[in-house]
Amino acid sequence: MAASPAESPRRVSTRGHWERYWRAHTRIEETYSTGDRLAREVLADGPVAGEHVLEVGAGSGRDTLRLARAGARCVVLDYAPASLEIVRAQAHAQGLAVHLVRADALAMPFRDGAFRVVFHQGLLEHFRDPMPLLRENARVTRSGGRMVVDVPQTLHLYTLMKQTLIVMNAWFAGWETQFTPAALEARLAAAGLRVRRTYGAWMVPGLGYRVLRETLKRVLGVTLPLDPQGPRWWARGWSAWRAWLARRRWALYTCHVIGTVAEKP
């Protein structure tokens, strides 16, 4: 999550929280990833070679690195030095140029319209009022450019589990909210953007396996593989089923995360 070290009513996670989290997760190959889905959505709108692209909230930086390999001029902004260091180390190992900026996501040190693409995931849900963040994102996006915003989806078992753990003060990321597809689209429209499409992603491996893996690791010290490899026929069948679902609006409500791609007029 990228924001200022200072507290505000809109912000419920501190720099210290995320600094501790990323210092404990430097081995990103042992953590679940987004599968660079945001990078895929960006590239679906055309090539990015030579274009300025901003990721707000560094996280693991996987999507930024994918876009850097495609020739984009990538900038990553976060307020947690440990997160920026993870991105820096990966970029260095892969021989990629990524500019790192430590700053507040609500007051970014960039001119208006500086970027062709602005994107983030795992960020918006941590703000009780998401509009200041979205408006600041829109400010630094150029006319005709894209914003991609990726969030947890409301109507999912994952959300029920998360909210239960939040009530118990046991959720790793502190307070979070979530959005339905319509609610996310409405927020982006309120920020002055034109919604182009909304996509979803299903949890792979499933929630049951992830809970089992984490339980065995904590209780017995046994670490299962991140992603159990099923038979090839299962993988082919799932890919075909997923492609069919992706073309249907109602299927977004079966996804644990969703994202909206919007254009700045």
Share of the chain above pLDDT 90, in %: 52
**Average pLDDT for residues 22-35, to the nearest whole number?**
53
**Average pLDDT for residues 237-255, to the nearest whole number?**
81
Query: What is the predicted pLDDT for the residue at 60?
Result: 79
Q: Residue 142 in 3-state DSSP?
A: strand
168 in a structural domain: no
52: Cβ contacts below 8 Å, ≥ 6 apart:
72, 73, 75, 114, 115, 116, 117
Q: In what order do the strands lie in the sheet with 98-102?
A: 98-102, 73-78, 52-56, 115-121, 141-152, 257-263, 194-201
- The residue segments making up the domain with residue 89 are 15-153+175-204+257-263
Q: pLDDT, tens digit, for every residue of 189-228?
A: 999 999 999 999 886 555 555 555 666 677 777 676 656 6
Measured CA to CA, the distance from residue 207 to residue 228 in angstroms comes to 13
Of residues 118 and 172, which shows the higher confidence score? Answer: 118
Measured CA to CA, the distance from residue 228 to residue 106 in angstroms comes to 40
Query: What is the predicted pLDDT for the residue at 222?
Result: 66
Query: What CATH number is given to the structural domain containing 108?
Result: 3.40.50.150
Of residues 206 and 136, which shows the higher confidence score? Answer: 136
Closest CA to 158 of 124, 208, 121: 208
Whether residue 115 has pLDDT greater than 70:
yes
Range name among 58-72, 85-99, 159-173, 174-188 with the lowest pLDDT average: 159-173
73 in a structural domain: yes
Q: Structurally, how many domains does the chain consist of?
A: 1
221 in a structural domain: no
Q: pLDDT, tens digit, for every residue of 162-192?
A: 788 878 887 766 778 999 999 999 999 999 9
246 in a structural domain: no
What does pTM read for this prediction?
0.80
The answer to whether 103 touches 109, Cβ cutoff 8 Å, is yes
74 in a structural domain: yes
230 in a structural domain: no
91: Cβ contacts below 8 Å, ≥ 6 apart:
61, 65, 68, 97, 98
216 in a structural domain: no
What six digits make up the tokens of 141? Answer: 């996006």
215 in a structural domain: no
